[in-house]
Chains A and B, each alone.
Chain A
Amino acid sequence: MSQTALNSSRRWIRPLLINLGVVLTLLLLVVPLVFIFVAAFSAGVGGLWQNLTEPDMLHAIGLTLLVAGLTVPINLIFGTLIAWCVTRFSFPGRRLLLTLIDIPFAVSPVVAGLLYLLLYGSNGPFANILDQHDIQLMFAWPGLVMVTVFVSCPFVVRELVPLMSTLGTEQEEAAVLLGASGWQVFWHITLPNIRWALLYGVILTNARAVGEFGAVSVVSGTIRGQTNTLPLHIELLQQDYNTAGAFIAAALLTLIAIATLVVKAVLQWKLARQH
């Protein structure tokens, strides 16, 4: 093919591909996103305020924040420990452990929910012990936290492991040789090195914890004003023919997601500058 023919074919292929990309992005991403907010405001400001201050909605927001607020610290500590364990020590089964960490990503959240229900529900092996002490895990907020911790546990580990592997152990070994304790090594050497990745992991964990639907829907029992998280509340409002309310709840979740993305972008920029 001659150079001119190639150029002329390029001349129309390029705009075609660009336009295709733009149209698809608009149709699949931007329009639905804008529509959520348009629909949320369809009831007017009064309707918006009324839906937002409705007790069940307020409770759903509070419960979602509680679940995320408990899930994040648990996974932060757990994830850091695992990453430390896997990258700083060599032991048999290390690779297996790394693979196991990914299981929550691999299985469907519904499966995770059912698993916990079968294990801690009233037909499970712990039913009698829990019963005797009158502890209700499933269909109460502890169950919601348990499944959310499960589905969101790989995020912190997955962020830390590659970074900690590339950082190597020289600095930490030097610290130990100079007489630092294990805690001092972690606090003064490891943590400053991984803090941005750690934050990034926390943000992803939080995003997942706030938006989780499948697993919590299995263990929630959907008691309004008690075990109904924001994503579950969207479904209930929709079933009540309260479309505006459902979109208002959806817009809230979307706002949280957008805020997360913004924070994430800022952190990524800072991370890039650090290296």
Chain B
Amino acid sequence: MHTSKKLALLLFAALLSTPLAAKELLNSSYDIARELFAEINPLFIAHWQQQSGETLTINQSHGGSSRQAQAILQGLRADVVTFNQSTDIDVLHQRGNLLPANWRERLANNASPYYSTMAFLVRKGNPKQISSWQDLAKPGVGLVFPNPKTSGNARYTYLGAYGDALQRFDNDDAKARNWVKTFLANVVVFDTGGRGATTSFVDRQLGDVLITFESEVNGIIKQYPDQQFERVVPPTNVLAEFPVAWIDRNIQRNGTEKQAKAYLEFLYSSAAQQVLARHFYRVHDADVVAATAAQFPVTKLFKVEDLFSSWDAVQSTHFASGGVLDQLLAEGKR
């Protein structure tokens, strides 16, 4: 019995170790993208098989994208990253030199095959009449979104609100700041992540508006049909890019240069863009855009870099300890 047990263990270990013949790609991604890539990966595997005759296996790792970047810096050998925040890819260059600084220029549209923006999830019938960012700061409106300190998703919410205010007040920062203070005072609960915020809004019935990515909002509406939530996309909004990159150091080591690049280029193909649009991400492919126009309300998008200089500056002035966010939260409590 003992030897058979040992044999089984050895067999199992062999099963676990990487097979030498078949090529593997590891895609390190953000935490809510599993279903998306579960749908895209088989398409690429078939495409690659047809093109090169090679059978590919694609493994997925999902987590908060800052945490994923940390793991790659510590030695997780991901071939490609598909993140929801470009600063997390920059970190891979700055701290580990795993890829060149100009990674954005290697693929079209700032290396962002798809993008999204923020949307509001409101309760049945939109009882608080929410239609724009401005409405969110009205008295008596309860807001739910994660803490911008810990969640990339919420950083976009904060910047979306702030950017909208800057545009409304003709770039008068003092006025915008004041408005954001009343906006933040309406927050009912700051969860640490997007999932927690959804639970607060859906299960604990807290607040009137849940703010998250447009793609997520549509997913939640589909997930809880009986609650009859409604979606509101404000007329001006922040552009949230979903940047992708191959990790040069790792693909050289893994010998997957061709496959990794082809995989990311495939995300721009019409087949992949259709899947993306079905998951409520906004895409660039003209035909897919035309075919799916009805599901994406028109909104005027601004880039974070255009209104707030750079992401680095945003990080240090707004989100660092004692930064604008902390100040506004403290002032709002008084």
Contacts and interface: CB of A to CB of B under 8 A. Distances in A.
A binds B: yes
Interface of A: 62-63, 66, 69-70, 117, 121-123, 127, 136, 138-139, 141, 221-226, 236, 238-241
B16 A139 contact: no
B79 to A, nearest CB: 12
Interface string B42-57: 0000000000000000
Interface of B: 9, 12-13, 15-16, 26, 31-32, 34-35, 59-63, 71, 73-77, 96, 195, 219, 223
30 contacts: A62-B15, A66-B13, A66-B16, A69-B9, A121-B75, A122-B74, A122-B96, A123-B73, A123-B74, A123-B75, A138-B74, A138-B75, A138-B76, A139-B71, A139-B75, A221-B61, A221-B71, A222-B61, A222-B63, A223-B60, A224-B34, A224-B60, A224-B61, A236-B62, A238-B195, A239-B32, A239-B62, A239-B195, A241-B219, A241-B223
A139 B76 contact: yes
Contact of A223 (B34, B59, B195): B59
A250 B23 CA distance: 33
Given A69-B9, A223-B26, A239 B74 contact: no
B111 to A, nearest CB: 23
Contacts of A123: 73-75
A222 B74 contact: no
Given A62-B15, A223-B60, 20 more contacts: A62-B12, A66-B16, A122-B73, A123-B74, A136-B75, A138-B74, A138-B75, A139-B76, A141-B13, A221-B71, A222-B62, A223-B59, A224-B34, A224-B62, A226-B59, A236-B62, A239-B62, A239-B195, A240-B35, A241-B219
Contacts of A127: 75
A139 B31 CA distance: 17
Contacts of A69: 9
A66 B12 contact: yes
Nearest to B194: A239
Nearest to B60: A224
A239 B192 CA distance: 14
A121 B75 CA distance: 6
Contacts of B26: 223
B59 A224 contact: yes
B75 A122 contact: yes
B225 to A, nearest CB: 13
B55 to A, nearest CB: 16
Contacts of A225: 59
Contacts of A136: 75, 77
Contacts of B223: 241
B74 A117 contact: yes
A263 B35 CA distance: 40
A13 B231 CA distance: 56
B31 A239 contact: yes
Contacts of B9: 66, 69-70
A236 B63 CA distance: 9
Nearest to B95: A123
A122 B72 CA distance: 9
A87 B71 CA distance: 42
A141 B16 contact: yes
A128 B77 CA distance: 15
A121 B74 contact: yes
A240 B31 CA distance: 8
A63 B76 contact: no
